[in-house]
Chains A and B, each alone.
Chain A
Amino acid sequence: MATAQQIRTAYIDYVLSNNEKPKSVYSFAKKLKITEADFYQFYSSFESIEKTIWFELTFETISKIKEQEVWLQYTSREKMLSFFYSYLENLKNDRSFVIYSLRNYQGKVATPSIWSGVKPIFENFAQEVIDEGLDTGELAERKFLTKRYKNALWVQFAFIVNFWINDDSDGFEKSDEAIEKGINVTFDLFQHSPIDNLIDYGKFLSRNGKFKEKMGF
C-alpha cells in the first residue's frame, strides 16, 4: 500500500525525468505498482499533488519563521521580509520542481491554479502581519484601501517567485535585492505618508462648503 509521500516522490521524479506529466493516472499507478483507487485515496489528480507540494512549502516556511527567536522583535515590514527570504531558501531545495511546475501551469491567469492552496494561507498570514502593523501604528489605516494591502503583498509574492525562477545570479543575490527593494517599497506605501495628509486636507476643504461658495467654486 503506497503512502501519500511515496506517490508524491514518484510523481516529482517522473515529471523531472520526463519534463511532463504522466499520460494518465492509470499508467502512473501501474508504474508504481498500485491501483488507481490507491492513488485517488490521496489525490484527485496530478494537479492536486502539485497543489499540495506548494501548500506544504508555504506552510512550512510560515511555521519555521515564527519559531525564530527574533520573530517577536520584528516589525511587520521585517516579518514580511523574513517570510520571503526564508521562502526562497525553502524553495531552493525543490528548485527544479518549482520551475517545472510554474512553467507548466503558467499561462492565462496571473495566479496559476497550482497556487490555489497557497493563496489563502499566504493572504491569511499577510493579514495577520498587516493587522499587527495597524495595531502598533506602523502602518496607516485607510478606508477601503487597508483591506487591499494583502492583495498588494500577493502581487509581490507572484513577482518574487517568478523573478527567482528566472534568476541566474550568484547565490540568487538578485532575488534578495528584489525582495529587499520590493517589500520596502510596498511597506513604504502602507505607512503614513504626505498623501494621507493631502487627502485629509482635501476632505476638510470639501466639507467646508461656505468656503467653496465664497471662492466661487
Chain B
Amino acid sequence: MDREQLNEDNATDIYKSLSELKGSALKIAQMLSMDKNIMPKSYVDKFTQSQYNAPPLSGPLIVKTFTKNFGKTPEQIFDTFNLKSSNAASIGQVHQATLNGKKLAVKIQYPGVGDSISSDLKLVKPFAFRLLGMSERELNIYIKEVEERLLEETDYELEVRRSIQFSEDCQNLDHVVFPKYYPELSGKRIITMDWLDGLHLKEFLKTNPSQELRNKIGQALWDFYNFQQHELRAVHADPHPGNFMITPNEDLGVIDFGCIKEMPNDFYYPFFSLISTDVINDKAKTIDAFRKLDMIHAEDTEEQVEFYYKSYREMISLFAKPYINKIFDFSKPEFFDQLYAYGEKISKMPEFKQARGVKHFIYVNRTNFGLYQILHELNATVNTDTYEPTLNR
C-alpha cells in the first residue's frame, strides 16, 4: 500500500465518521477541505464530498421549529411550503416556499448545533493535531478562532442583519446579485429569503460556458471578495462553491453570509503592505512585518529568523502573484502546482510543527485560497487591479 492509498483510506474513514455527524463537524470538514494548500489531495477530495450531503430533518421537526419561532405552522405562514428539503446547508437545510406569488428559500437550522460545536471541536482536535502536527496548546488559539466563527454562524438573527448590510454595501458591484431577505419571516433558527434561480458552479461548468462568460463570473467573484477585503475590511469567509449561483442573467448570486471575518488594522496593514507594496523587497521591513504578524517570534534565534523569513517570503510571494500584474490568468496549473508543492513542503518540515502566525490567517487564507481555487475551476482570467489594498487610511 503506497502513501497515496493510505491517505485515501484514512480520508474515507474520517469522511465516513464525519458524515454521520451533523453540524459543526461537517462544517469543520468543509473548512479543512478549503485549505487545499495544506491537505494531501485525497483528504481534499473526500472532504469536498461532505460539502454536498447531510441527513435531512424530519417534516414534523420542521413544523415544530416553525411553531416554536412563530407560533404558526409553515402552512399557515406561506402559500405553499415543501416539507422535503431541496438541499443541505451544513448546519441547516433549505426548503422551497411561495408567498404572494414569490418563490422563497427558507433555511432551517438543525437543533442543538450551537450546543454541539464545542464537543465536535473536541472530537476533531486529535485529528487536527495529527494532520497539522501541532500540539494542543499551540492549536488552541486557532481552535478558538474557529469556534467563534462557527458559533456566529449558528446565530441566524445575526446572519440576516449581516446579509442585509452586506448586500446593501455591495449593491454597486457589477454582475453580483443578492437575494432579498425577510427579517419578519426569519428568527433564531429560520431564515427566509428570495429563491435565486440558477446553477451551482459545478453544474454551470458542465454547460460548457464560453471563455467570455467564465471571465465575467470570475471577475464578479474577484470584485466581490476584494471590495469586501479592502473597502469593508470584513469578508464573506466561506468561499465554497455551494454558496454561489450563476443566475439565468449570467450574474453571480451570493447566498450565504453566515461566516464573516473582520480584519483588524493590526492584521490588515502588515499583511497587505507585504502584498501591495515593495516592502517584500526590503528584508528588514519584511522581517518587521513578519514579527507583527507573529510569524517570527521574539525568542527566535538568528538562524530561525533567517529560515522563517525565507519560507514565509516564499508563501507571501505566491499569495501575491495575482496582484503583481493588472491581469491574472487563473487557468494556469503552474500557479496551483506551486501552491500545493509549497504546502507539501512545509507540511514535512519539522520547523512548521509549531504554531506560527496570528489567528486571523486561518480565515483570511481560507478565503483567498478558496477564491483562487474557484477561479481556477472557472479557468477565468481577471483584472486584479479593480479593488486594491488601501494602506493609506
Q: Which residues of A contact B (CB under 8 A)?
A: 68-70, 73-74, 77-78, 81-82, 85-86, 89, 169-171, 173-174, 176-177, 179-180, 184
Contact = CB atoms under 8 A, between A and B. Distances in A.
Contact of B112 (A85, A86, A89, A177): A177
A74 B59 contact: yes
B58 A184 contact: yes
A177 B114 CA distance: 13
Nearest to B55: A184
A180 B57 contact: yes
A173 B111 contact: yes
13 contacts: A73-B83, A74-B59, A78-B58, A78-B59, A81-B61, A85-B61, A169-B112, A176-B112, A177-B111, A177-B112, A179-B61, A180-B111, A184-B58
Contacts of B169: none
B83 A70 contact: yes
A58 B53 CA distance: 37
Contacts of B59: 70, 74, 78, 81-82
B247 interface: no
A180 B58 contact: yes
Contact of A70 (B63, B64, B67): B63
Interface residues of B, number: 15
Q: Is the interface of B mostly helix, strand, loop or mixed?
A: helix
A216 B73 CA distance: 65
A176 B58 contact: no
B60 interface: yes
Given A85-B64, A89-B64, A70 B75 contact: yes
A84 to B, nearest CB: 8
Interface string B64-81: 100110000101000000
A172 B76 CA distance: 24
Contacts, number: 50
B60 A174 contact: no
Contacts of B57: 180
A204 to B, nearest CB: 32
Given A69-B75, A85-B64, A169 B58 contact: no
B314 interface: no
A191 to B, nearest CB: 15
A27 to B, nearest CB: 41
Nearest to B68: A171
A176 B64 contact: yes
Contacts of B60: 74, 78, 81-82, 85
A10 B67 CA distance: 31
Contact of B115 (A74, A78, A85, A174): A174
Contacts of B111: 173, 176-177, 180
A98 to B, nearest CB: 18
Contacts of A169: 112, 115
Contacts of B83: 70, 73
10 smallest A-B Cβ distances: which pairs? A82-B60, A81-B60, A85-B64, A176-B111, A177-B112, A173-B111, A81-B58, A78-B59, A173-B112, A85-B60
Contacts of B75: 69-70
Residue of A89, A169, A176 with highest tally of chain B CB at under 10 A: A176
B383 to A, nearest CB: 48
B115 A180 contact: no
A86 to B, nearest CB: 8
A82 B115 contact: no
Nearest to B83: A70
Contacts of B68: 171
Nearest to A177: B112
B106 to A, nearest CB: 16
A138 B112 CA distance: 29
B151 to A, nearest CB: 13
Given A82-B63, A177-B111, A180-B111, A68 B73 contact: yes
A169 B60 CA distance: 20
Given A69-B75, A173-B112, A180 B61 contact: yes
Interface in B31-77: 57-61, 63-64, 67-68, 73, 75
Contacts of A179: 61
Of A70, A78, A179, most buried by chain B (CB within 10 Å of CB) is A70
A81 B63 CA distance: 11
Contacts of A86: 64
A86 B63 CA distance: 10
A199 B100 CA distance: 54
Contacts of A78: 58-60
A49 to B, nearest CB: 29
Contacts of B73: 68, 70
A78 B58 CA distance: 7
A171 B187 CA distance: 14
A77 B64 CA distance: 15
Contact of A174 (B63, B67, B112): B112
A209 B67 CA distance: 60
